A and B are shown apart, each in its own frame.
Chain A
């Protein structure tokens, strides 16, 4: 485990993040104050949660484009339940949103597994369906802050040990996904299926079932993020988190998760999300124009993919005995 070849890529990204933070600090002294860093992390928490779900899917050679639509639908369901039944405890709404996300993820998973439709097509379709469902549920109306109960809105903002609960949620998800990816048979199956689906079949791993669980996990995390999003921003409507799925995929790619599957780590996904989060949330603070932000994010994505492609390049066959260990 210690010598995973991908490790240096994550180190590279960590160095890039530190350089970026250092550069901002030079122009904007006080940026690295603990309070400010916590707030930046907090702003990135939802992206981290979604990127970890997406990581499971991409590792097993899939993609979930419906992840932001799932967040929006599950979040809206939680908000509508809150409006309809103000007395329901928030923990119930949180579980309901997660459950709804898991169901929506399971639908993706079943379509990919049972009907063998390519993941990009399945999730492109369900993305539209899930957004459309929000319209059907709300009639196009917004669920506004004043309709939600205070308890509903309070959870992500509450502070525990100096850190907002929203951030605590993301830390818990990081721990959970680290355990799943590193220590469970399912996690190993994601890597196997993404790395070489044919070999996985002969090893007795069901490729379809592995895909299903990847989408289930991504869906459940999107559902959880749905509640956190609607509660934090105190609004729910058809277009919340519109286009956010691309940020999520970008975070994974920047974090070194191979879009071809089978390579990458949870740590990479987190770092990728943090990098994007800093660019999106910190650059406006120091007056970098939004157009520059877009250019910077785009450049970083291409650099990240180029770095990954370089290290993944076929090095030819290993024929010399002495070359075998030198690599």
Chain B
């Protein structure tokens, strides 16, 4: 382990960055050491992304300096940063589907032969070496479109390493990965550490920070508010630093009297995605669906919502057989689905707020096929007020709202249909701690009002904290069902991964 005296691979000092109307970073310092993982934590909007962009030459700081090996450097372009060996693996990996693995790794800096043409042999050989060095068994000649998510991620990592990296920035690298893939990523991080790379690891998940980081730096509102060694801190201290106040209750789950069955699913199966799915959902209940990524949870939910067709299965709603062949029939039956990608699948940003809210409920405010605008407006007003949406007027486009308010528009839209069952797919993925507990409080409130909730989640604390009951899926089947009293993190992980119960 390096001691504090050893020179940092890269050090930022007094970095300030201002955008019109907002100071994104103010006088922050950060040092990354060879062979060490530094975790950068902070709520969304704390300035983490701005810092990454400064480190990779996309933004120029207004003040402060960057030094490498004691010498002052400036990254005026992304190329300059990568020439200095600073490389980033981004949240959404930017890769090209139609190109091969090797082409993806070397695009932009392909080795050339003496005629200035691309040296294909060298590309393939070096791609193979890099992939081997990170333990990825991928043929460099395969097209990227043939690979799964985990392997694409490996390609992104290989691409980052192909520039002879000294400093590797990982921006929420585990967000899209399953538990098994995350383990593989940890191994990779260990390898990079052993090679003496300095790693900046940005994450919202505390368990992984404590698992792999050596140091931490906490940002709040564009300022560095704390740093130190992971071994000398604990979760509560970090959370307090992040939010600036102690978080007393992360999961505000109320106790709700659970009523009779609302939704009964039996014998749902699909030729390739899932089979034998059956369960009952009760009034006021939050039913968690846990499993690894690719266990078939979202696929089943999409079939239940009528987007895809199951080959067999029956649904009863309030003890009557319901036929759901399309999303519009599902909405009519009182089932709504809030998809995982709320940003891209939730709102129509060019449309005014009120039109977004009433889109699935237009039938209610129409007479003889014509929309009655006064009634439409009243409906939109009712539900946006209920959610305390703050907007100058309801006819401004949703695109002008902040992320949090756009979320409220999405939720208002679904509540306006007066659903019986609401399916939330990864309801808090990628949002900061403050907004997370607001979403959880709201879920709890909805359940309290008698709505039944299906919550698909890959985050164990969320499942443990919020669900009355959890169903665990693995490889397209239900493998276990646990009540709130029976649940434990260990049981969830074992069931999802198919590991037998320890003796």
Q: Is B493 an interface residue (CB 8 A)?
A: no
Q: Determine if A185 and B363 form an interchain contact, defined as CB atoms under 8 angstroms apart.
A: yes
Contacts of B396 in A (CB 8 A): 3, 327
Q: Is B499 an interface residue (CB 8 A)?
A: no
Q: Determine if B328 and A198 form an interchain contact, defined as CB atoms under 8 angstroms apart.
A: no
Stretch at the interface among A98-106, A123-131, A201-209, A271-279: A201-209
Q: Check A200/B348 contact, CB under 8 A, given A5-B397, A188-B362.
A: yes
Q: Determine if A3 and B395 form an interchain contact, defined as CB atoms under 8 angstroms apart.
A: yes
Contacts of A206 in B (CB 8 A): 326-328
Question: Which residue in chain B gives the minimum CB-CB distance to A264?
Answer: B350
Q: Determine if B371 and A202 form an interchain contact, defined as CB atoms under 8 angstroms apart.
A: no
Q: Check A205/B359 contact, CB under 8 A, given A183-B371, A199-B346, A323-B21.
A: yes
Q: Determine if B348 and A196 form an interchain contact, defined as CB atoms under 8 angstroms apart.
A: yes
CB-contacts of A271-327 with B (<8 A): 317-321, 323-325, 327
CB-contacts of B281-330 with A (<8 A): 305, 307, 326-330
Q: Which of B21, B327, B329, B349 contacts A201 (CB 8 A)?
A: B327
Q: Determine if A195 and B326 form an interchain contact, defined as CB atoms under 8 angstroms apart.
A: no
Q: Determine if A324 and B405 form an interchain contact, defined as CB atoms under 8 angstroms apart.
A: yes
A198 to B341, CA, bound (A): 10
Contacts of A5 in B (CB 8 A): 350, 397
Count chain B residues whose beta carbon lies closer than 8 angstroms to a beta carbon of A.
48
Count chain A residues whose beta carbon lies closer than 8 angstroms to a beta carbon of B.
34
Q: Determine if B401 and A324 form an interchain contact, defined as CB atoms under 8 angstroms apart.
A: yes
Contact with A along B156-196 (1 / 0, CB 8 A): 00000000000000000000000000000000000000000
Q: Which of B341, B346, B370 contacts A184 (CB 8 A)?
A: B370
Contacts of B328 in A (CB 8 A): 204-206
Q: Determine if A188 and B349 form an interchain contact, defined as CB atoms under 8 angstroms apart.
A: no
Contact with A along B385-409 (1 / 0, CB 8 A): 0000011110111001111010000
Question: Which residue in chain A gives the minimum CB-CB distance to B395?
Answer: A3
Q: Which of A188, A320, A323, A325 contacts B391 (CB 8 A)?
A: A325
A3 to B393, CA, bound (A): 10
A248 to B267, CA, bound (A): 52
CB-contacts of B122-167 with A (<8 A): none
Q: Is A191 an interface residue (CB 8 A)?
A: yes
Q: Determine if A196 and B402 form an interchain contact, defined as CB atoms under 8 angstroms apart.
A: no
Contacts of A114 in B (CB 8 A): none
A5 to B395, CA, bound (A): 10
Q: Determine if B21 and A320 form an interchain contact, defined as CB atoms under 8 angstroms apart.
A: yes
Contacts of A198 in B (CB 8 A): 339, 341, 344-345
Q: Determine if B330 and A204 form an interchain contact, defined as CB atoms under 8 angstroms apart.
A: yes
CB-contacts of A133-190 with B (<8 A): 179, 183-185, 188
Q: Determine if B395 and A1 form an interchain contact, defined as CB atoms under 8 angstroms apart.
A: yes
CB-contacts of B332-348 with A (<8 A): 332, 337-339, 341, 344-348
A4 to B394, CA, bound (A): 11
Question: Which residue in chain B gives the minimum CB-CB distance to A198?
Answer: B345
Contacts of A201 in B (CB 8 A): 307, 327, 345
Q: Is B227 an interface residue (CB 8 A)?
A: no
Contacts of A183 in B (CB 8 A): 370-371, 373
Question: Which residue in chain A gives the minimum CB-CB distance to B393?
Answer: A3
Q: Check A195/B349 contact, CB under 8 A, given A1-B373, A3-B396, A325-B392.
A: yes
Q: Is A192 an interface residue (CB 8 A)?
A: yes
Q: Is B369 an interface residue (CB 8 A)?
A: yes
Contacts of B329 in A (CB 8 A): 204
Contacts of A33 in B (CB 8 A): none
Q: Determine if B350 and A320 form an interchain contact, defined as CB atoms under 8 angstroms apart.
A: no
Contact with A along B346-374 (1 / 0, CB 8 A): 11111110010001101100100111010
Min CB distance, B434 to chain A, in Å?
A: 14
Q: Check A318/B402 contact, CB under 8 A, given A191-B351, A205-B359.
A: yes
Q: Is B331 an interface residue (CB 8 A)?
A: yes
A179 to B349, CA, bound (A): 23
Q: Which of B331, B349, B400 contacts A324 (CB 8 A)?
A: B400
Q: Is A263 an interface residue (CB 8 A)?
A: yes
Q: Is B1 an interface residue (CB 8 A)?
A: no
Min CB distance, B326 to chain A, in Å?
A: 6
Contacts of A2 in B (CB 8 A): 395
Q: Determine if A319 and B22 form an interchain contact, defined as CB atoms under 8 angstroms apart.
A: yes
A5 to B413, CA, bound (A): 22
Q: Is A262 an interface residue (CB 8 A)?
A: yes
A202 to B390, CA, bound (A): 25
**Can you offer 5 A-B residue contacts whose CB atoms are under 8 A?**
A1-B395, A5-B397, A185-B362, A203-B360, A324-B402
- Which 3 residue pairs of A and B lie closest in terms of their CB atoms, listed nearest first? A204-B328, A195-B348, A325-B392
Interface residues of chain A, those whose CB is within 8 Å of chain B, are 1-5, 179, 183-185, 188, 191-192, 195-196, 198-206, 262-263, 317-321, 323-325, 327
Extra 17 A-B pairs, beta carbons < 8 Å, given A183-B371, A191-B350, A200-B348: A185-B363, A191-B348, A196-B349, A198-B339, A198-B344, A199-B345, A200-B359, A202-B305, A204-B328, A262-B351, A263-B350, A318-B400, A324-B390, A324-B391, A324-B401, A324-B402, A325-B391
